Structure 1
Amino acid sequence: MSFLKLEGVTKRFGGLTAVSEIDMTVERGQIYSLIGPNGAGKTTLFNLISSVLPVSAGRITFDGQDITRTPTHAMAKLGMARTFQNLAVFKHESVVNNILTGLHSRLRTDPLSAAVFWGRARREELWARERAEEIIDFLEIEDLRDLPVGTLSYGQQKRVELGRALAVEPKLLLLDEMVSGMNQEEREDIGRFVLDLKEELGMTVLMVEHDMGIVMDISDRVCVMHHGAKIAEGTPAEVSADPEVIEAYLGGSRAA
C-alpha cells in the first residue's frame, strides 16, 4: 500500500482551477519533490495534502487512512508536519521554546496534572526538553538555543522552523521552499539534514522546491507541475531529460 496517494485531487477557487486532477504516489522512506514555475499550483497542492485547504474533488490517503476530509488540527497526530513558504515562527521566543511548541501534540497530560506539575506532567516535561535538545543538536544550533528567534538570520530562522516540525516526530515531513532565501552554505546544510532524516530515521519527505541543485541531488522521485496539472513524473534523470519539462521549467533554469 502506498504511503501517500493522491487520486484525481482538484482544487477550484470559483471559476479558477488551481490544481487539476493530480494523481501522485509517495512511497515510505522516499524524498519526493514537487517542482514547477511560480503559480504552477505546488503550494496549493501542499495545502490540500496538509488539510489547510479543502479538496474540491479527488481523494487523499495517508498511511492507509483516507484523510481527504480530515481537519487541519488532526494532521500532526496522524504523523504529518510541515514548514511554510513564509516564515511562521514565534520571533520573540527563544529557539528552544519554539521547538517545544512543536512537541505539544505529543503530550497527554491533563490540565489539572499540568497545574500541579507532578507525576506524568513532570515526566512529560522532562521528556519534551530532552527531545528538544536532541533536535537542537541534530540541526547544529546549540549556540543559538536561548536566543530570541527574531534576532537570528533568515537561514537560521528557517532551521528553527524545521526543528519545530521535527518535534512533531512526523512520519511524513512537508517542506515548502525550505532553502529559498538561503546562501549556498545554508542550502547545502539543509540538503544534508534532509538526507540524514531519510537515511538515519527512515523519514519520508515531500518537498516543494525551486533550487534545482537540491532537487536533483537528493530526490528519489520528482513530480513537475505546470498550470495546476502534472506534466511529468520520474527520477531526477528522467524528469530533467523530458522535453516538456525543459520547455516549461528546467530550460529557463539551465539558461540562467
Structure 2
Amino acid sequence: MTSLLRIENLSKRFGGLQAVADVSLAVTTGEICSVIGPNGAGKTTLFNMISGVLRPSGGRIVFDGTDMAAVSPSRFAAKGIGRTFQNLALFKHGTVVENILTGRHTHLRSNVLDAVIFFGRTRREEIEARQRVEEIIEFLEIEHIRDAIVGTLSYGQQKRVELARALACEPKLLLLDEMVSGMNQEETEDIARFVLDIREELGITVLMIEHEMRIVMDISDRVHVLNFGRKIAEGTPAEVRRDPAVAEAYLGGHRAEAAKVGA
C-alpha cells in the first residue's frame, strides 16, 4: 500500500524554542495511526503543520503525492485534509446543521452571481450539501439534536458535531486532536467505534493525537511517539507498549507505572 502522508525531517521553531525537531513519519492509505507523547511533546504543533495552520521551519510534507510547500494553507482542506481541534472551534450560536454545512465550503464552486439568483449550479450545490450533511448526521447518530443550537449542547455532543463538520469536507486524511478529552466512558467508547467506522465504511485514513491509551492501543494500526519535539519510537501498539523509551518518556522509568501505558 502507498503512503497517503509522508513527513520528512519536519521541524518548527518559535524563536529560541524548538517545538518539533527533525520528525519523519508516514501514514499508509487506510490506516488508523496515533501520535502520542507527554504534554509539550510537540504533537499539536505537528498537526498544525500538517493541516496548514503553521508553516514548517524545515522539512517536507508530502500529501497524496503533492509537496504541500507549494500549496496555500487555505487549500489544505480542499486537497483532502480534514481536522478537529483540541479546543472546540464551533459557531456556538448556530444550529448543528449550520455548523456542519460550513464544512462543505471546499466543495462550493458557485460565484457571487450564481448565489444572487440561486439557480443552476448554486441550487444543485445547496441540495447536494444538505443531502451530504443529513447522511453524516445519521452516520454519527445525532439526528435528535440536528436543529439544536450548538452552545446549548453537552461537551460530548459538541465534539461529535465538530467531527461531523470535519467529515463534511470529505477528507482523504482525518486529523483528530484529542477527540475524547473530557468525555465520559460511554462517550469515549462511542468515538472509538465511530473512528473505526470512518475507516471501514467511509474509507478515510485517520491520524489522531490521543492521551487515552486504551483507545490508542485498541484501534491503532501504528503508533508514533514524540518527546520534547522529537520522535522516539514507532511501531504497532504492542511494540510501542514494550519500548523502554516510551515508558521513560511518560513515566520517568518507574516500572510500577509502566504497565499503565497499555492498560
Q: When the two structures are superposed, what TM-score results if normalisation uses the length of structure 1? A: 0.97
Q: Which residue of 1 aligns with 2:134?
A: 133
What residue is the counterpart of 2:254 in the other structure?
Answer: none
The residue aligned with 2:100 is 99
The change in CA–CA distance for 1:252 and 1:85 in structure 2 (over 3 A counts) is farther
Residue matched to 1:108: 109
- CA deviations on 1:196-222 (whole Å, 9 max, x unpaired) are 011112210010000001101110000
* CA contact 1:6–1:59 (8 Å) conserved in 2: yes
Distance in 2 of aligned mates of 1:69 and 1:237: 37
Aligned to 1:54, the other structure's residue is in SS state: coil
- Whole-angstrom CA distance in 2 between matches of 1:82 and 1:252: 31
Q: How many angstroms apart in 2 are the aligned matches of 1:12 and 1:4?
A: 22
The AA in structure 1 aligned to 2:20 is V
CA distance in 2 between counterparts of 1:52 and 1:137 reads: 30
| Offset, 1:253 | 7.3
How many angstroms does 1:70 deviate by?
2.6
State the partner residue of 1:210.
Answer: 211
- TM-superposed deviation, 1:225: 0.4
Alignment partner of 1:157 is 2:163: no
Counterpart secondary structure, 1:143: helix
Cα deviations by residue, 1:165-206 (Å, 9 ceiling, x for unpaired): 000000000000011000000011111011001111221001
Decide whether the 8 Å contact of 2:11 with 2:23 is kept in 1.
yes
1:35 alignment partner AA: I
Q: Deviations over 1:115-158 (max 9, x none)?
A: 11111111111111111100000010000000000000000000
Name the residue aligned to 1:254.
260
Change in Cα spacing, 1:253 to 1:144, as seen in structure 2 (3 Å) is: farther
Equivalent residue number for residue 32 of structure 2: 31
Structure 2, unaligned runs of 5 or more: 252-256
Would you say how many aligned residue pairs link Structure 1 and Structure 2? 256
- The aligned counterpart of 2:77 is 76
One-letter identity of the residue aligned with 1:243: P
Deviation of residue 68 (structure 1)? 2.7
How far apart in 2 are the matches of 1:253 and 1:55?
Answer: 35
- 1:71 offset after TM fit, Å? 2.4
With the length of structure 2 as denominator, give the TM-score of the two structures.
0.95
Report the AA paired with residue 125 of structure 2. Answer: E
Partner amino acid for 1:79? G
Task: Please state if 1:61 is matched with 2:62.
Answer: yes
Task: State percent identity of aligned pairs.
Answer: 66
2:129 partner letter: A
Secondary structure of the residue that 1:20 maps to in structure 2?
A: strand
Work out the CA distance in 1 between the residues paired with 2:191 and 2:197. Answer: 10
Cα distance in 2 for partners of 1:214, 1:95 equals 26
Amino acid at match of 2:56: V
- Contact kept, 8 Å, 2:51 with 2:77, in 1: the verdict is no
Aligned positions of 1:85-96 closer than 5 A:
85-96=86-97
Give 3-state SS (helix, strand or coil) of 1:103's partner: helix
| Gapped regions of structure 1 (runs ≥ 5) | none
